[in-house]
Amino acid sequence: MLRFAPSPTGDMHIGNLRVALFNYISAVQRDEPLLIRIEDTDKERNIPGKEKEIFEILALFGIQHQEEQLQSNNLRFHRAMAVQLLQDKKAFNCFCTPETLDAKRDASKEAKIAYRYDGACENLSADAVIDNMNPFTIRLKKPTHPITVTDLIKGESTFAPDDIDSFILMRADKFPTYNFACAVDDMLADISLIIRGEDHLSNTPKQIAIHEALGYTKKVEYAHLPIILNAEGKKMSKRDDASSVKWLLEEGYLPEAISNYLLLMGNKTPNEIFSVKEAIKWFDLKTISKAPAHFDIDKLKFINREHLKGLDPKELSRYVGFADEEIGQLAKVYLDEAGTLKELRSKIATVFGPKEVPEEFKEGYAILRDLTLKAPHFDDYDAYKGYLMEHSGLKGKNFFKPLRILLSGAEHGPELSDLYCYLKNYLKEVAK
Ligand code: GLU
């Protein structure tokens, strides 16, 4: 089983969507189920409604899963495993107060040495533990050997026991830390491959140490995806609009195009434009670059345009708020200028909306508008144009500028003959 384990703590980040997509593709390729585990153990950071949004986004992107879990429902297992580790003397109760720990951390900082837990509570006698009525955390005993993480993308990284340290499994409030809940849940779900962001690489040896302490010997595979950088070369954060999947969708990037781009970024692919279904045939985690990926919105727009070009005109028409095929075709004419659904909607709205006419063309515009409203139907642009020319007496710029504004709402744009061919049945609406 593979898993995608989002926290319901904010808008879904494209980095997370990338993780979900790679998990989905790998699960299909390996013919293993995919589990969606909502990591809701950090009660203060959970945002109501985000869980529902996660499932909606996954469905929109065609990321199908077979199992669902709320991490908080596994609390009894987290607690039981913590007790087992205490009994096996693999973990210990730590009564150090936050103030004591902070003071030790400050002292290390002053001495310019990395802070490590000093083992203060590791060897307390049983009596000392039982008699102590103060709040306590449960810490895993620091491993006695280095732990090597083998990663499908990054290769091997070895972590010294001191870097893993005696870290906290259960907080004083009796709730598990991320590392403990995650390691226990992955074990219980028999996860075979963990794909997640590289910000978790330093957590992996801790989770392996937990598995070892629990006597879990399954060889779990790992793939940590490189971070995504913005145009300034900084890690894409909430401050970058494009980091939010919701924002990209609202801007009118198609899910197919976003998926295409997320699979292309920092990867070697047989071609540039493809569907997820096609990618399942050739996708290989091992070809993902170790280096950070650079997010390039212009490239995404280029890919979006290619996917928009490939859409069935009727479907495209619906996306821009109409139901007829011709408007879908009309929208395609605008794809040279527009790269997102939002831009296309605005182009089409300009065609059908009230027109802004510069003073010098107002008179010509009024004449052409009246003629168009009264004219018979012309199938052919040249016939329509000939009719208007003949009856208006307008010529050159004084004819073409107001005509362009009448048919498109703009002074520049696609060839009028290209627009006319899809607008000819809507002229009365366009000119109203
Ligand atoms: N809840 C963690 C996150 O959203 C999951 C990390 C993991 O996949 O283990 O970053």
Q: How much is the average pLDDT of 362-366?
A: 97
**301 located within any domain:** no
Whether 335 and 386 map to the same domain: the answer is no
Shortest-distance Cα residue to atom 5 of ligand 1: 5
pLDDT in tens, 201-248: 999 999 999 999 999 999 999 999 999 999 999 999 989 999 999 999
5 lines ligand 1 (CB under 6 A): yes
Total domain count, the chain: 2
Q: What's the confidence (pLDDT) of residue 43?
A: 85
What pTM, to 2 d.p., does this model score? 0.94
Taking every pair of Cα atoms in the chain, the longest distance, rounded to a whole number of angstroms, is: 107
Whether 419 and 386 map to the same domain: the answer is yes
Q: What's the confidence (pLDDT) of residue 92?
A: 98
- Placement of tokens 């195009």 in the chain: 257
Evaluate whether 151 touches 224 at the Cβ level (below 8 Å). yes
Q: What's the confidence (pLDDT) of residue 319?
A: 95
pLDDT in tens, 270-295: 999 999 999 999 999 999 999 999 99
pLDDT in tens, 298-307: 999 999 999 9
How far is ligand 1, taken at its centre, from the CA of residue 360, in Å?
A: 61
Please, is 221 exposed, middle or buried when counting C-beta atoms within 10 Å of its C-beta (0-12, 13-18, 19+)? middle
**339 located within any domain:** yes
> Which of 296, 329, 352 is the last residue before a domain boundary?
352
Helices (H) and strands (E) in the chain, counts: 20, 12
Shortest-distance Cα residue to atom 4 of ligand 1: 6
**42 located within any domain:** no
How far is ligand 1, taken at its centre, from the CA of residue 144, in Å?
A: 27
Pocket test for ligand 1, best of 39, 42, 194 (most atoms within 8 A of CB): 39
Whether 421 and 366 map to the same domain: the answer is yes
Pocket test for ligand 1, best of 1, 178, 203, 222 (most atoms within 8 A of CB): 178
Give the pair of three-digit tokens for residue 185: 């849940």
> Which of 329, 352, 375 is the last residue before a domain boundary?
352
Percent residues over pLDDT 70 in the chain: 100
Shortest-distance Cα residue to atom 3 of ligand 1: 6
How far is ligand 1, taken at its centre, from the CA of residue 12, in Å?
A: 12
179 lines ligand 1 (CB under 6 A): no
Whether 397 and 334 map to the same domain: the answer is no
- Given the CA of residue 186, which atom of ligand 1 is nearest to it? 9
**425 located within any domain:** yes
Q: What's the confidence (pLDDT) of residue 291?
A: 95
**232 located within any domain:** no
Residue 432: pLDDT band (50, 70, 90) is confident
Q: What's the confidence (pLDDT) of residue 226?
A: 96
Query: Which alpha helices (H) appear in 214-296, and where do they start and end?
Result: 245-251, 255-264, 276-282
Distance between CA atoms of 236 and 239, rounded to whole angstroms? 8
Whole-angstrom CA distances from 196 to 3, 164, 239 are 9, 19, 22
Q: 321 lies in which domain range?
A: 311-352
Q: What's the confidence (pLDDT) of residue 87?
A: 97
Whether 365 and 419 map to the same domain: the answer is yes
First-to-last C-alpha distance (Å) of the chain: 60
Sign of dihedral through CA atoms 103, 109, 110, 116? positive
> Which of 328, 352, 376 is the last residue before a domain boundary?
352
Q: How much is the average pLDDT of 67-86?
A: 98
How far is ligand 1, taken at its centre, from the CA of residue 355, in Å?
A: 51
Q: 4 has which bridge partners? A: 36
Whether 363 and 421 map to the same domain: the answer is yes
How far is ligand 1, taken at its centre, from the CA of residue 296, in Å?
A: 25
- Given the CA of residue 4, which atom of ligand 1 is nearest to it? 8
Q: What's the confidence (pLDDT) of residue 42?
A: 85
**396 located within any domain:** yes
**251 located within any domain:** no
- The interaxial angle of helices 416-423 and 381-392, nearest 10 deg, is 100
Whether 325 and 387 map to the same domain: the answer is no
Please, is 11 exposed, middle or buried when counting C-beta atoms within 10 Å of its C-beta (0-12, 13-18, 19+)? middle
> 2-4 and 34-38: which strand pairing?
parallel
Mean pLDDT score across all residues of the chain = 97
**83 located within any domain:** no
196 lines ligand 1 (CB under 6 A): yes
Residue 197: which of 23, 57, 9 has the closest Cα?
23
39 lines ligand 1 (CB under 6 A): yes
